[in-house]
Amino acid sequence: MAGKGAMGTVYRAVDEQGNPVALKVLDPLADDARFQAEVDALRRATHPNIVTYVAHGISAGQTFVVMEWLEGADLEHVLESGIPLKSNPAATMGATLAEALEFLHTREIVHRDVKPGNIFLRAGEPALPKLLDLGIARRLDEPSRITHKGAIVGTPSYMAPEAALGHDGIDGRADVFSLGCVLYEAVTARSPFEGDHAVHVLAKILVDDPVRPSRFVPDLDPRMEEAILTMLTKDVSRRPTAREARAMLERVGEPASRVDAPLTLGERRVVSVLLTSSPSVTADTIQERDALVTDAHVRAAVARHRGTLLSLPHSAILATFGGPGAPSDHAVRAADCALDLAGWIGSAHTAIVTARPESREPSLADRASQLLKQAKRTRVPSILIDRASEPLLGSRFVLEETPIGLVLRSAKPGLGGARTLRGRPTRCVGRDVELAMLVALVHESAQDRVVRSAVVVGDPGMGKTRLLHELMGQARLVHFVTARGESTTAFSVAGQLVRRVAGIEHGSSPSEASARLDAHVATRLGGPFANFARELLGEIAQVPVAQPSAALVGARSDPAIIGDSIRRAFVAWLAAETARAPLGLVIEDIHWADAPSLVLLAADVRALGDQPLFLLFTSRPGARQAQALSSEIDAREVRLGKLSRAASERYVRDLVPGAPQATVDFIV
């Protein structure tokens, strides 16, 4: 016996002429379709750097395939010595393998499992490589008969991002990424995406950029480094083909001008990452993802907070939160999503980490994995936060230091309370006029029982949120409820308001949320419309009834009817709420808000003119949605500019008592 793999056993045999051959016998429990796919691919892959097919058949009830016999060692065994290859031999090996992959790709075959164990070095020479094991290779023009939709096929450490996500339509550039991983390991003696288990590795592939190889090998040829990092591009549309990769590798050793570093995470926008724990993973090869990540509730929660769901195997969830906006926007959305998911992921722990532009060590996935390790010291499901996320979340969420780390407990119920910076209370300075204007509007709404509205406009960092804190602390006549602008799902903002007024907490189970909303509506609305209104408010708040009525089923089939019904229910609900006490609805970042929610809010203003309702929005300058809504509901605009020098000095002196004037001048 020469070796044993996942599909069968390989023996050294001889053919009729007495020449040595490799005889691979299919394991009785192996996938016959996959074995046949390997045979089909081998028969078509007649290339000097791909193992040669000889014959196949069935003998004594056993399926077999015969291939050429190779003398030497596979690359995996060569690299086990811990001694990396030099740039030139590694580049020669890489260019030769890229040529073999190019041959496969032109015949619309994707290897899908390029790794050191599937690269054989004849006579142990890197210049004489051969590709082995086409067992999971697949023709691009054929539907997948071997794996179900969304299945993950390959070896985690060498898997392209699109393969890790289980995407359909994977092409030859996935093999190029895998070859880039192989070459990285060949020249550094370490994997570009190292992790404690498969989930950790896949998280790094999906989120992290690899450390530049020259950090470990300072004398590495710059062209070799450029080729490897280009092959490891996560965006498949920007990744080279096998032919382009071969051309880059063939230039290694030529005189090179300075090679610019590729764009890294440190140069991109800040991103927050959410990763949940999973059962222990030890398998080297992942063949299926767990069904959890396809659960509609998980998808809806991530989408609701404008995140990107990256599926992982073994019940793990990986989601990223980035894009336009300040770092705090991303971290807040990740935290809100984690709290929403808490009711659906059972005993799993969750980690939230944020990338800082000035530092990428340790990586995002490493930091998240470390937090999840810490969480294993308790059986209580926990949401752990890294130190980079802490200052972005502290003002909006309840965070607690525990023996396992910093734990996110809940969202703060409102924006009131003392504000601190570095633990020291600070005054709101330079906003007296704006604050007085808003307080007057709130009191007018509450005392005269009229609808009033305002929009606070300012660039990021101008103090919009701080002004809201001060307003809520001073305007005691009104009960404030807050929401944040979200636009991925219809009625996202309106749904937040319903859930918060009804007292539905983050992480509530579906049954708890439903019971809360049932009880809330029962105390607000009566008559024949009450039950239907409960169903419609549940549609908005993602708290559906178990058995929808015929009226709701019929309304869902007609966009005009369901839209009008939701509008009636929302207005009736707010009318009942404001009849009990003056109400203030505060929506931050209305420029991100979904259009259906804005339509509902405009309808409230028109229908509830004699009710004590105060609407307050924050927006960045030039946001068209905010401008349109402000015009429609005649909202008072409060524009925030830069603080005056005197106000800035007062702020600094509050923060640094006794600071010399020179220090104050420098900070201001």
Condensed to tens digits (0 to 9), the pLDDT of residues 578-625 reads 998 899 999 888 887 878 888 888 887 888 878 899 999 988 888 777
Structure tokens at 194: 């190292």
Q: Crossing angle of helices 222-231/87-106, nearest 10°?
A: 30
> Which residues does 247 contact at the CB level (< 8 Å), separation at least 6?
none
| Mean pLDDT (whole number) for 170-177 | 92
Neighbour tally for 172: CB within 10 Å: 21
Do 397 and 389 contact (CB within 8 A), yes or no? no
Report the pLDDT value the prediction gives residue 654, as an integer from 0 to 100. 63
Q: Judge whether residue 560 has pLDDT over 60.
A: yes
Mean pLDDT value across residues 224-249 = 93
pLDDT at residue 155, rounded to an integer: 72
Contacts of 44-49 spanning 24+ positions with Cβ under 8 A = 44/107, 44/109, 45/103, 45/104, 45/107, 45/109, 45/134, 47/100, 47/103, 47/104, 49/96, 49/97, 49/99, 49/100, 49/129, 49/130, 49/131
Catalytic (active-site) positions: 113
Q: What is the pLDDT of residues 184-198, one digit of tens each?
A: 999 999 999 988 777
Looking at per-residue confidence, does 428 or 15 come out higher?
15
| pLDDT at residue 305 in the model | 85
CA–CA distance, 234 with 309 (Å, rounded to integer): 16
The confidence score (pLDDT) of residue 139 equals: 47
- Which residues are CB-neighbours of 58 under 8 A, at least 6 positions away? 64
Average pLDDT over residues 627-644: 81
Is 506:338 a contact under the CB 8 Å cutoff? no
Across 18-22, 103-107, 427-431, least confident range: 427-431
pLDDT at 280 over 80: no
> Is the per-residue pLDDT at 17 higher than 60?
yes
Please name which of 99, 113, 98 lies closest in space to residue 41, comparing C-alpha atoms. Answer: 113
Residue with the larger pLDDT of the pair 582 and 5: 582
DSSP assignment of 462-514, as one string? SSHHHHHHHHHHH-TTSEEEEEE---SSTTHHHHHHHHHHTT--TT--HHHHH
**Averaged pLDDT score across all residues of the chain:** 80
Q: CB within 8 A of 141, min separation 6: which ones? A: 108
Let me know how long the chain is.
Answer: 668
Domains, the chain, in order of start with CATH, read 3-68 (3.30.200.20), 73-262 (1.10.510.10), 268-411 (3.30.70.1230), 431-642 (3.40.50.300)
For the chain, percent of residues with pLDDT exceeding 90: 24
**Average confidence (pLDDT) over 251-267:** 51
Res. 473: pLDDT tops 80: no
Other CB atoms within 10 Å distance of the CB of residue 598: 23
Q: Which of 363-367, 507-511, 552-556, 612-616 has the highest average model confidence (pLDDT)?
A: 612-616
Q: What is the pLDDT of residue 493?
A: 86
How many angstroms separate the CA atoms of 223 and 409, rounded?
A: 49
Which two three-digit tokens encode residue 189? 């003696």
Q: Where does residue 405 fall: left (phi above 0), alpha (psi -120 to 50 degrees), or beta otherwise?
A: left
Return the pLDDT at 631. Answer: 81
Give per-residue burial for 82-107: e unless 16+ CB within 10 Å, then b: eebbbbeebbbbbbbbbbbbbbbbee
